[in-house]
Amino acid sequence: MSAFRLALVGAPNSGKSTLFNGLTGGRAKVANYAGVTVERRSGQFTTPAGRSVELIDLPGIYGLSARSLDERIAVDVISGREGIEDAPDALLVLIDAADLRTHLHLALQLKALGRPMLLVLNMIDLAERDGVVIDVAKLEQRLGVPVVTTCATRKAGRVALLARLDELVAARPMNEAANGAIADLRSVQHEARAIAREAILREPAMNKLTRAVDRVVLNPFAGPFVLAGMLFLMFQAVFTWAEVPMTLIESGFGALGAWVSAVLPDGLVKGLIVDGVIAGVGSVVVFLPQIIILFAFILALEASGYMARAAFMMDELMLRVGLNGRAFIPLLSSFACAIPGMMSARTIENENDRLTTILVAPLMTCSARIPVYTLIVAAFIPPRTVGIFNLQGLVMFGLYLAGIVSAVLVAFVLKRTLTRGRPQPLLMEMPTYKLPDPRDFLINLSMRAWAFLRRAGTYIFWVSVGLWFLASYPRSASGIRDTFAGMLGSWLEPLLRPIGFNLEIAIALVPGLAAREVAVGALGTVYALQSTDDTAGLAQALQSAWSLPTALAFLAWYVFAPQCLATLAVARREMNSWRWTAFMVGYLLTMAYVAAGATYWTARWAGL
């Protein structure tokens, strides 16, 4: 017997993915804002009665009209449209118990499809804590479908659900499908309200904590300061809290290099390990603490419910650029990585707005740029105090700002030329604030940290090894220029010389095309080969090898350059167009080249 196919359906942020993870043991991303899940995902589990179930997690929908890409994915699966897959055997419909009244009409619309369904009032614990009382038996009787309450985050909260699910699987009661056109939304809504009036016994005003916090956070005067303060704290944390662990990791790798040097006899193996692997991989792994802190902040913001507020704050400014406030969430996620950012743009209804958001997402300073920026800033910018600020911090802030400002400008120009269109409506739910679930938080964070380390251990490892060989042979070479790597790099060099880049940078940029932080590993290997001191870090090597204008030009290049194959692949998939992808690469490379050149020559002219 094939698995029973059960689709999770419900409004955005009603807890579908949390329930999915709870039942299947999956690790789907969960957070507290509408539109976290933007794709179909499935997993298996077995009911207490031993029935095997395929559970399909879907993006949230408010109704069946499906305007945005993520909603279309959900509605297509529910209705089994397009011949891609059959309609599911039953629907598991989730509603946030805290506001049954507002969302009940979706359950009626889904019931009219005629499939067997089980209605789940999720987050019942939070609703009850607020003082909401629901007569579940009454609701069940009036709706004519089984209703169960759950708390998807806890195992005990899912027991009743599983029991009712077995009944559903056994009986498969079909609902009466609406014949002909489904009743118009207005009358469905009125029917839902009538049922809600009977089933909701007590419904106090909204969550008190949320109201109190929003009094400050949504305040038109205080709100922007809260947002700015939050972002400032985040960057401050990334660049100051990480200092101690970073120094530890760096000296750890230095000691490891020195120890290996002392133990191994001179020769090929020693060179490969010390100058290739330890210098290359080590110079990237050093940045792990910063990556962890950044992701911790972004995950906490996402889980708390603040993300939608940030989008609300920015909506007016986004409107003036020509974008939707909703685009702010993808752009803010792009500070971690542009890939999830581009995918979450699926929640933007208007195709042109979605396209524009994807096109500018790579301008947001992603976490892979942190190693590059930190390395260069620490090596070249003196830690002087300017007013109340640290000069290094100011330069770092300037780099982030340069990315944001250019994203705004590019979006502004695009919306008036290539992706023209009327401003689109914003309709966005702002969730009740919740404390992040510690388990989810730690799982998400460790997945991010692991992904970073895995890349350092695989891709960067092999690049370091490969580059070490290319930059060490032929043995007769008197300097890096005569090695294979030097020969390859010298083809690119004439192109990069006008913007102040030297041969070593040209060599590092080639593997660095695959991912930004790889260039740091590559520079680590290239300069380790040229140095005699195995404990000196990459920063010292760069200080003696690069002029300040070159360093600044390198930073400017990294604000724009599209050096991430994974991002380009996802951009192509999400835009479903090679032409737009080529356009994106083209405009980013042009901006990178021009910005690096302008920076280099301005700095030279200023006598830096």
Partner 1 sequence: MKLTDLPTGRKARVSKIVLESTGLETKLREVGFSEGDEVEMLAHGPFGGRTLAVRLNRSIIALRGAEAAMIEVEEIS
The stretch among 309-317, 331-339, 435-443, 506-514 that binds partner 1 (CB under 8 A) is 309-317
Q: Residues 572, 578: contact at Cβ < 8 Å?
A: yes
**Which of residues 133, 317, 447, 608 is near partner 1 by CB under 8 A?**
317
Residue 474 to residue 171: CA distance in whole angstroms:
75
Phi, psi of 44 (to 5 degrees): -115, 150
* Interaction between residue 72 and partner 1 (CB under 8 A): no
Q: How far is residue 320's CA from residue 423's CA, in Å, rounded to a whole number?
A: 9
Whole-angstrom CA distances from 523 to 122, 528, 537 are: 52, 8, 11
Cα–Cα separations (whole angstroms), residue 15 to 29, 59, 483, 583: 11, 11, 57, 38
CB atoms under 10 Å from CB of 250, counted, come to 19
Residue 362 makes contact with partner 1 by CB under 8 A = no
Write down the residue that tokens 């599209």 correspond to. 562
Q: Does 488 bind partner 1 (CB under 8 A)?
A: no
Site string for partner 1, 375-414 (x = CB under 8 A): ----------------------------------------
- Give me the least distance between CB of 197 and partner 1, in Å please: 9
Any idea of the CA torsion for 172, 178, 179, 182, to the nearest 10 degrees?
A: -150
Residue 104 or 553 having the CB closest to partner 1: 104
Minimum CB distance to partner 1 smaller for 97 or for 522: 97
Written as one letter, the residue type at 516 is: R
- Give the nearest distance from C-beta 131 to partner 1 in angstroms: 11
* Contact criterion met (CB below 8 Å) for 306 and 231: no
With CB under 8 A as the contact rule, the residue among 44, 52, 65, 385 that binds partner 1 is: 65
Binding partner 1 (rule: CB under 8 A), the pick from 133, 159, 174, 206 is 206
Q: Does 131 bind partner 1 (CB under 8 A)?
A: no
**Minimum separation from the CB atom of position 103 to partner 1 (A):** 6
- Determine, following the binding rule CB under 8 A, whether residue 181 of this chain makes contact with partner 1: no
Shortest Å, Cβ 334 to partner 1: 21
Does 363 sit near partner 1 (CB under 8 A)? Answer: no
- Choose between 190 and 573: whose C-beta lies nearer to partner 1: 190
Neighbours of 278 (CB within 10 A): 25
Residue 410, Cα to own-chain centre: how many angstroms? 21
The answer to whether residue 185 forms part of the interface with partner 1 (CB under 8 A) is yes
Residue with tokens 């702010």: 328
What SS3 class is residue 200? Answer: strand
Is residue 426 a contact point for partner 1 (CB under 8 A)? yes
Q: What are phi and psi of 95, to 5 degrees?
A: -130, 140
Q: Please give the residue ranges that form the binding site for partner 1 (CB under 8 A).
A: 62-63, 65, 67, 98-99, 101-103, 105-106, 130, 132, 185-186, 189-190, 193, 203, 205-207, 210, 214, 218-221, 223-224, 308, 311-313, 315-317, 319, 325, 425-431
